Structure 1
Amino acid sequence: MDAAMKGLVIALGTWPTMLWRSVLAIAVIAPIYLLLRARWPTRRALRFHIIRGVLVVPMSVLFFWGLARVPMAQAIALSFIAPLIAQWLAAVLLGETMGPRTLAGSLLASAGVAVIFTGQAKADLGVDALKGSIAIIGSAFFYAYNIVLMRQQALAAKPLEIAFFQFAVTGAAFWLLTPLIGLPPLPQGHWGALAIAALLSMSGMLLLAWAYARAGAGYLSASEYSGFAWATLFGWLVFGERVSPFTLAGATLILAGCWIAARAHSERPDAAPVAPDMIPPQAEAAHDA
């Protein structure tokens, strides 16, 4: 899906790609959901749908804008800092303590990000690549929130409902913002690629929702690290991108940092999963913000 989206963003631009993909996705998934739904979502589930749908707008725009400007493997490696950001957010919003291992893991991952930026400077990829990397890191902050919300949402709703409302809310947000940005032209010659991107996105969303209903966010987030291998493969096959030693070294440091932080969390005696109903009011208010 990332490879399909990168090609589309390069051809059409970020906003038109996101806008027209949402149109195709909702056209496919809305009839299926409305036909198969047993009942309207609960108020609590609807709240999660709206919060996460709005959150995905800046998260996805920043990520795909950045993805069009940096190699895929580098973009995915930078996005791996999201689980560590999630732990910092848990410390701020939920009052969780951060032990020395978590801090060490964060420092190691930060060193990995620095290594990737150093490699980018040495390769002289230009200002656009630097801006793209910064956008991806910004997207990682939103995705850190998204990790927490995915688990809460998956416990409150079924995968098909989650996918429908995800595209409905984000699509509505895109169209509401269109008067400020401008209506893009029809993507002549790119409808097939947009349909592929929409189907891949829906498939991934359904699978993630199914998975997060059956396991915790901390456990499942580790599976996302396999994305580096896929990004390396598709970046090479589709765009002829090569993975630099700096990107490889930086990704290794980031993964090592995440592993150290995850072990620190799993070894804590109070590291039981947090149920959605246990989240304090300040965290709920922050979600609304």
Structure 2
Amino acid sequence: MTHPLRRGAAYAIGGAACFAAMSALVKTVGGDLPNSVVVFFRNAFALLVLLPWIAWSPGKRASFSTRRPGMHLLRATTGLAAMYCFFYALSQMQLASAVLLNYSQPLFLPFIAWAWLGERPPLRIYPAVLIGFVGVILILKPGMGWAGPAGIAGLAAGILAATSMAAIRRMSDTEPAVRIVLWFSVLGTLVSAVPAAMHWQTPSPTQWSALAGLGVIAAGGQLLLTRAYALAPAAHIGALIYTTVLFAALIGWLVWGERPDMLSGVGGLCVIAAALIVVVMRQRGSRTARA
């Protein structure tokens, strides 16, 4: 790889490690604190970290002024809903399984983009998507001691995250990345403050540290991925992001002694393989369409 590609890959893997660590911290505090409180502090502390980066961004990119507030609101609503679902799944499931379900979003994105943006997915991705859905079924195991509401929440997180990504794609022709991040960070903090106040529980000193840590780490991961996408092709970065699952599995094993059963392991491999195939094929299709 060329030097920028190597740097992009390093940033992507660093971002993946951050998101795995953030997920572990959510799991640590999620069993003792209300989900709404955890989501609020994840957004609030991340906003504090991101504000200097946003302020230093050049020109009008960091401006809050926009002609598409409705799209920003839709993106924030779906992204925040995905966060609530994901955090709940993390508190109830094995770390790697919850992360895997959340990262199933590439399986849904082509069809959401087709219905919403008119971007019809190529026929060649359908076998990969089918394999991915088989993997999701193996992870959820309906009728066989299945994951229950937590598994459904994890899957819903993937669908909602895919919808949020489609919203970003819809407005990226006029909205710079910095403005999209700014709107989501502010709206996410303000909106999540309401349910947090309704279910307030004062964190302990240890929980305060974990909450601050997960917000800071989430912001760091976001910044690393932003830099990675600036240096390397999206398909390469999209593939490397799945190292998050490997980091999550390692943390789950070391901290909680979690060992996935055979069906979940096979299902996880199916989801990762299918998602990678879809990401690469969509990227190639985009290049062909532009050529």
Tell me the TM-score range normalised by the shorter chain. 0.7 to 0.9
Contact 1:45 1:157 in 2 (8 A): no
Matched, 1:147 2:170: no
Structure 2: gaps (5+ residues): 1-21
Matched with 1:231 is 248
The CA deviation string for residues 90-132 of structure 1, in whole angstroms up to 9 with x for no partner, is 22123333343221111111111122223x865x47xxx3211
Matched with 1:185 is 201
Q: Determine which of 10, 13, 28 is the counterpart of 2:34.
A: 13
The more displaced of 94-103 and 137-146 is 94-103
How many residue pairs get matched? 266
Change (3 A) 1:198 1:31: same
Letter in 2 for 1:15: S
Secondary structure class of the residue paired with 1:43 = coil
State how far apart, in whole Å, the 1-side matches of 2:173 and 2:227 are.
7
Matched with 2:14 is none
Secondary structure class of the residue paired with 2:258 = coil
Matched with 1:75 is 98
Matched with 1:280 is none
Change (3 A) 1:143 1:109: same
Change (3 A) 1:47 1:204: farther
With the length of structure 1 as denominator, give the TM-score of the two structures.
0.78
Contact 1:41 1:157 in 2 (8 A): no
Matched, 1:89 2:141: no
Secondary structure class of the residue paired with 1:156 = coil
Structure 1: gaps (5+ residues): 274-289
Contact 1:3 1:238 in 2 (8 A): no
Higher relative contact order (CA 8 A, sep 6+): 2
Contact 1:163 1:206 in 2 (8 A): no
Contact 1:83 1:221 in 2 (8 A): no
TM-superposed deviation, 1:26: 3.5
With the length of structure 2 as denominator, give the TM-score of the two structures.
0.77
Change (3 A) 1:226 1:154: farther
Contact 2:129 2:278 in 1 (8 A): yes
TM-superposed deviation, 1:19: 1.9
TM-superposed deviation, 1:241: 1.0
Q: Determine which of 213, 218, 229 is the counterpart of 1:201.
A: 218
Matched with 1:100 is 123
State how far apart, in whole Å, the 2-side matches of 1:192 and 1:178 are.
18
State how far apart, in whole Å, the 2-side matches of 1:34 and 1:25 are.
14
Task: Report sequence identity in percent.
Answer: 24
State how far apart, in whole Å, the 2-side matches of 1:9 and 1:58 are.
16
User: Runs (4+) of structure 1 moved beyond 6 Å?
Assistant: none
Superposed CA RMSD: 3.2
TM-superposed deviation, 1:59: 0.7
Letter in 2 for 1:187: P
Contact 1:104 1:260 in 2 (8 A): no
State how far apart, in whole Å, the 2-side matches of 1:198 and 1:134 are.
25
Q: Determine which of 141, 147, 168 is the counterpart of 2:186.
A: 168
Letter in 2 for 1:220: I
State how far apart, in whole Å, the 2-side matches of 1:99 and 1:32 are.
38
Change (3 A) 1:260 1:199: closer
